[in-house]
A and B are shown apart, each in its own frame.
Chain A
Amino acid sequence: MALDKNGIARRIAKELQDGCYVNLGIGIPTLVANYVPEGIQVEFQSENGILGMGPFPDEGEEDADLINAGKQTITSLPGASFFDSAMSFGMIRGRHVDLTILGAMEVSEKGDIANWKIPDKLVKGMGGAMDLVASAENIIVAMMHTNRSGVSKLLDKCSLPLTGLGCVKRIITDLAVIDITKDGFLLVERAPNVSIKEIQNATKGKLIIQNKVPEMLF
């Protein structure tokens, strides 16, 4: 069965390594913070200027001066720090942030990503996404495999304006874990009870299938 958004977040959380500084994008990536495996210490960065981001505040404890990049009220954990936006993107471009997890509208088999603009329609802007994808060493995309109309978001070539070129390393969707290789999308894992055929049907770009494709473990 295809995973829901929390399921995707749970699977992504398994990618977290002890001692990592992690930037979480808006949407599914934000949920990853709820599933950090036990015994692992990670620190979350939010690009508006905090390291050591904590959970949402208790009622009455919210502070308008303490938000995350999604403009949600948050808390800071012991050991947290605040900084300006140049420092924030300095630590991103300087590759001090180890892992970036973000959403996407489209990913190509070369690792190109489009997640900021639909021409003549939705105008939101790229926020920090272009800086993040151009800089991070390890980028995981969290998204649904297909869009609301059922069209694949994993393509041979992105049709929407790009956010970055050749930067995505791994995609985790409701159906599968897929790595970007020089030959195309490599199917690494299937969601529980999802068939290879289903994944093939939902993938428009070149999908490489090696003998055994295990199911995701949580």
Chain B
Amino acid sequence: MINKKVNSVAQALEGVQDGMTFMLGGFGLCGIPENAIEKLVSLDISGLTCISNNAGIDNFGLGKLLQNKQIKKMIASYVGENAEFERQMLSGELEVVLTPQGTLAEKCRAAQTGIPAFFTPAGYGTEIAEGKETRVFKEKNYVMEEAYQADFAFVKAWKGDEAGNLIFKGTARNFNPLMCGAATITVAEVEELLPLGALDPNQIHIPGILVDRIFRGNLYEKRIEQLTLKKT
């Protein structure tokens, strides 16, 4: 067994530097690597490029890195819940690349699986396709999109073991599995870090080969963005 376990979030983040490109899992605040983000906020690094479906909210998730002005460029599909993000974007402080959600997912998976580029119908005929190669297949138009390149991927899983195997829960899965192995170094944080043999190999979503470092997160606030309850 190749042991991927590290004992602290500080160790897990060893090597992060100014100007790097990070992938961060999560959809909204669901399944975000809370502990890695918290640590990044405390580190004196900036000029970051972040690839993540959303940009958190003003005081939580990636919103904290934004408030600290640590992010130079944000690649996301939807940023509607973050006033500070909108302010920085409109003032030109923050460079933003809005990318269709399915394309964002596929660009991660392409990086993970050694595919340099692919064709998708999403965004054809829109400003997203400007400057990109297009092709026609069976009378339908497609846009060429390239795989991402990133230095670190920070993902969050429910359970993991010391070999780096991961299991996700509910819709907290989202982009997390696709970012594993899609960057030079993949850091997985988990709610439960179990000994070898505790996870059923049949149930593993991501095999440990795609994970470089794994640690148990100390704190999961798991904030809910839109609490909606059945009307009684």
Which A residues fall within an 8 A CB radius of B? 46-50, 55-59, 62-68, 70-74, 76, 82-86, 88-89, 92-93, 112, 117, 120, 123-131, 134-135, 161-165
Q: Given the complex of chains A and B, what is the CA–CA distance between A65 and B167 in angstroms? A: 13
Bound CA–CA A214/B13 (angstroms)? 65
Which residues of chain B have a CB within 8 Å of any CB of chain A? 27-31, 53, 76-81, 85-86, 89-90, 96, 98, 100-106, 108-109, 120-128, 158, 168-178, 222-232
Most buried by A among B77, B125, B171: B171
Task: Let me know if A71 and B102 touch, CB within 8 A.
Answer: no
Tell which of A49, A89, A123, A131 touches B89, judged by Cβ atoms closer than 8 Å. Answer: A123
Q: Is the CB of B123 within 8 A of A130?
A: yes
Closest Cβ of chain A to B115, distance in Å, is 12
Q: Give the Cβ gap from A136 to chain B, nearest Cβ, in Å.
A: 10
Q: How many Å from the CB of A44 to the closest CB on chain B?
A: 13
Task: Report the separation of the CA atoms of residues A169 and B102 in the bound assembly, to the nearest whole angstrom.
Answer: 22
On whether the beta carbons of A123 and B90 are closer than 8 Å, the reply is: yes
Taking A64-B224, A86-B102, A165-B125 as given, write out 12 further A-B residue pairs in contact, using a Cβ cutoff of 8 Å, ordered by the A residue number: A48-B27, A50-B170, A56-B229, A65-B158, A73-B227, A82-B173, A84-B105, A85-B102, A124-B78, A125-B76, A126-B101, A134-B123
Given contact pairs A66-B170, A85-B101, A135-B122, A124 touches B53 in the complex (Cβ within 8 A) = no
CA of A77 to CA of B54 in the docked complex: distance in angstroms? 27
B106 close to A71 (CB less than 8 A): no
Q: Would you call A164 and B125 a contact (CB within 8 A)?
A: yes
Q: How far is the CB of A111 from chain B (nearest CB, A)?
A: 11
Known contacts A71-B29, A126-B77; is-contact A62 B229 (Cβ 8 Å): yes
B52 → A minimal CB distance (Å): 12
| Cβ-neighbour of B102 out of A46, A62, A92, A165 (below 8 A) | A92
Most B C-beta atoms less than 10 A away, residue of A57, A59, A164: A164
Please give the distance in Å from A104's CB to the nearest CB on chain B.
14
- Please give the distance in Å from B230's CB to the nearest CB on chain A: 5
Question: How far apart sit A135 and B124, CA to CA, in the bound complex (Å)?
Answer: 11
With known contacts A93-B102, A93-B121, A120-B90, A125–B30 Cβ distance under 8 A = no
Query: Could you show 7 A-B contacts with beta carbons less than 8 Å apart?
Result: A64-B223, A82-B171, A84-B174, A126-B101, A161-B126, A162-B126, A164-B125
* A73 pairs with B171, CB closer than 8 A: no
The answer on a CB contact under 8 Å between B121 and A55 is no
Greatest chain B CB density within 10 A among A88, A120, A128 is at A128
> Which 6 residue pairs of A and B lie closest in terms of their CB atoms, listed nearest first?
A89-B102, A131-B102, A165-B125, A64-B222, A85-B105, A134-B121
| A67 and B30 contact, CB distance less than 8 A | yes
- For the complex, what is the distance from the CA of A86 to the CA of B76, rounded to whole Å? 15
Choose among A49, A134, A163, A164 the residue that contacts B174 (Cβ–Cβ < 8 A).
A49
Are A124 and B121 in contact, CB atoms less than 8 angstroms apart?
Answer: no
Complex Cα gap A153–B110 (Å): 38
